[in-house]
C-alpha cells in the first residue's frame, strides 16, 4: 500500500474535462483516503464545458485555451497535466502548453493510440520529452461529456502506460500511482505493442462493425434486412454507434498496426469462406468450437471484480 499512500499532489491541470478527464478529477477528489489532488484546473476549447465542470464541482477553476495569461497561471506549479482531448489535438495542445511548462510538471495523456501521440509529443516538446509519460485508460465511452463523469469509472479498469526511455522512473511511478488511486490496474507496455494489441481487440472490431452496417446499407433490400435483424446483429453492431470522428482519428493514427490486423482478418475470413464453399463442416466446427472455448474463458476472466482493493497490488509501470 506504500505506493498509494505516497500519492498526492497540489495541482492537477486537465485539458478536456469530459468523461475521461472529469472522471479522473472526481476519482481523485471523492475516493477518500487513497490519494488526491488539492486543486484541479480545467482547460477547454469551449467556455460552456468548463463552466459545466465548475458547476458540478468537478474542477476548482477553469482557463480558456486561447488566454495566454490564464494558461500561464493554470500551468504554474502544476504537478500533473492530463491531456484528455482527441488524439489528433495532441501536438497543437502540447505546442500551446510548452512555453508555460514548469520543469517539474509531468504531462500524461489518455489517447487510444500511442505511437502517434509519442511522435506528436516529441515534435512539440523536443528536449523536454522526458516530462511526457504516455498513457491510455481503458474505460467505457458509451456516453460522453462531463455530466457522464463518475468517481468510480476506473475501478477495476486497466490503464496502460507506455513509458519513454527519457522518462525518469519516479515520473512514471507518479502517474502510475495517480491511476492506481482511481482504482485502476496499471500496466507497462511499449507504445508499438500497445498499438498492436488495441488494433486487434478494439480498433479492428470497430471497423468490422461499421463495415457490416455499411454493407447492409449498400444492399437493395436494406430496409427488409434491418427489419429482421435481431439480437446477434444488435450485439455485433453496438460499437457501430460509436463516434465517427473519434474512430476516424484512431484509424488514421494507428494505421500501420490496423492495416496488419485487417490483412490478417481478411486471410482468416478467406479460409472460412473456402471451408464454407467446400462444405467442410469439420473445419468450420473446429474453428467455431475453438473460438467459443476461448471467448467463454475470456468471459470468465473478464467478469467484474468485486473489490477495487486489488488495484494497489497490480503490475505497475516501471
Question: Does 231 contact its own copies by CB under 8 A?
Answer: yes
DSSP assigned state of 87: G
| 216 near its own copies, rule: CB under 8 A | yes
Contact residue for its own copies among 77, 92, 99, 140 (CB under 8 A): 140
Q: Which of 178, 160, 137, 153 is nearest to 9 (CA)?
A: 178
Distance, in Å, from the CA atom of 212 to the CA atom of 112, rounded to the nearest integer, reads 23
The interface with its own copies within residues 159-178 (CB under 8 A) comprises 160
Site for its own copies in 120-139 (CB under 8 A): 138
Among 292, 305, 310, 318, binds its own copies (CB under 8 A): 292
Choose one: 41-49, 99-107, 113-121, 216-224; the region binding its own copies (CB under 8 A): 216-224
Question: Which residue from 99, 298, 305, 310 is in contact with its own copies, where contact means CB under 8 A?
Answer: 298
Nearer to its own copies among residue 42 and residue 137 (C-beta):
137
Q: Which is nearer to its own copies, 9 or 179 (CB)?
A: 179
* Contact status, residue 77 vs residue 103, Cβ threshold 8 Å: no
Nearer to its own copies, 201 or 309 (CB): 201
Q: Which secondary structure element, helix H or strand E, spans residue 11, and what is its range?
A: strand 9-15
Q: Should residue 235 be labelled a site residue for its own copies when binding is judged by CB under 8 A?
A: yes
224 near its own copies, rule: CB under 8 A: yes
**Phi and psi, residue 217, nearest 5°:** -60, -35
* Residue number, 170 or 227, with CB nearest to its own copies: 227
92 part of the interface to its own copies, by CB under 8 A: no
Query: What is the three-class DSSP state of 254?
Result: coil
Tell me the C-alpha distance between 56 and 264, whole Å: 46
Angle 154-197-153 (CA atoms, 0-180°, nearest 5)? 10
Tell me the window of 57-65, 171-179, 194-202, 304-312 that interacts with its own copies (CB under 8 A).
194-202
Spatial CA neighbour of 54 closest among 66, 64, 65, 41? 41
Site for its own copies in 245-284 (CB under 8 A): 245, 247-249, 251-252, 255, 258-259, 261-266, 268-270, 272-273, 276-277, 279, 281, 284
Q: What is the dihedral of CA 38, 155, 23, 124, to 10 degrees?
A: 80
Q: Binding of its own copies at residue 46 (CB under 8 A)?
A: no
Size of interface with its own copies, in residues (CB under 8 A): 91
If the CB atoms of residues 77 and 264 are measured against its own copies, the closer one turns out to be 264
Q: How far apart are CA 249 and CA 183, in angstroms?
A: 28
Question: Minimal distance in Å, beta carbon 3 to its own copies?
Answer: 21
Name 138's bridge partners.
158
Single out the residue of 230, 300, 304, 307 in contact with its own copies (rule: CB under 8 A): 230
Residues 6 or more apart whose CB falls under 8 angstroms from that of 90 comprise: 83, 109, 111, 116, 117, 120, 121, 124
* Site stretch for its own copies (CB under 8 A), options 8-16, 22-30, 113-121, 229-237: 229-237
How far is it, in rounded angstroms, from Cα 242 to Cα 152?
Answer: 22
Q: Would you count residue 148 as binding its own copies (CB under 8 A)?
A: no
Which span sits near its own copies by CB under 8 A: 4-12, 79-87, 145-153, 197-205?
197-205
Asked whether the beta carbons of 116 and 27 are under 8 A apart, the reply is no
Check binding of 318 to its own copies (CB under 8 A).
Answer: no
Amino acid at each position: 500500500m506504500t505506493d498509494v499512500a505516497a500519492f498526492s499532489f497540489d495541482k492537477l491541470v486537465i485539458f478536456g474535462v469530459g468523461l475521461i478527464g472529469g472522471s479522473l478529477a472526481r476519482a481523485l477528489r471523492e475516493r477518500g483516503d487513497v490519494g488526491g489532488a488539492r486543486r484541479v484546473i480545467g482547460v477547454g476549447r469551449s467556455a460552456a464545458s468548463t463552466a459545466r465542470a465548475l458547476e458540478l464541482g468537478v474542477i476548482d477553476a477553469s482557463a480558456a485555451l486561447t488566454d495566454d495569461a490564464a494558461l500561464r497561471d493554470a500551468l504554474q506549479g502544476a504537478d500533473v497535466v492530463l491531456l484528455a482531448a482527441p488524439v489528433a489535438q495532441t501536438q497543437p495542445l502540447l505546442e500551446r502548453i510548452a512555453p508555460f511548462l514548469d520543469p517539474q510538471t509531468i504531462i500524461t495523456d489518455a489517447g487510444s493510440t500511442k505511437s502517434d501521440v509519442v511522435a506528436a509529443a516529441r515534435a512539440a516538446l523536443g528536449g523536454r520529452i522526458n516530462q511526457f509519460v504516455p498513457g491510455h485508460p481503458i474505460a467505457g465511452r458509451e456516453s460522453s461529456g462531463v455530466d457522464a463523469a463518475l468517481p468510480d469509472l476506473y475501478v477495476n479498469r486497466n490503464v496502460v502506460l507506455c513509458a519513454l526511455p527519457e522518462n525518469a522512473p519516479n515520473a512514471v511511478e507518479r502517474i502510475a500511482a495517480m491511476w492506481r488511486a482511481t482504482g485502476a490496474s496499471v500496466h507497462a507496455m511499449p507504445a508499438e505493442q500497445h498499438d498492436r494489441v488495441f488494433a486487434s481487440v478494439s480498433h479492428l472490431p470497430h471497423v468490422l462493425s461499421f463495415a457490416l452496417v455499411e454493407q447492409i446499407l449498400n444492399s437493395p433490400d436494406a430496409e427488409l434486412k434491418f427489419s429482421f435483424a435481431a439480437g446477434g446483429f444488435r450485439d455485433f453492431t453496438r460499437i457501430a454507434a460509436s463516434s465517427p470522428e473519434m474512430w476516424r482519428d484512431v484509424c488514421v493514427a494507428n494505421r500501420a498496426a490496423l492495416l496488419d490486423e485487417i490483412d490478417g482478418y481478411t486471410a482468416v475470413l478467406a479460409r472460412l469462406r473456402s471451408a464454407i464453399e467446400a462444405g467442410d463442416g469439420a473445419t468450420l466446427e473446429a474453428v467455431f468450437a475453438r473460438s467459443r472455448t476461448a471467448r467463454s474463458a475470456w468471459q470468465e476472466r473478464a467478469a467484474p471484480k468485486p473489490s477495487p482493493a486489488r488495484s494497489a497490488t497490480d503490475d505497475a509501470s516501471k
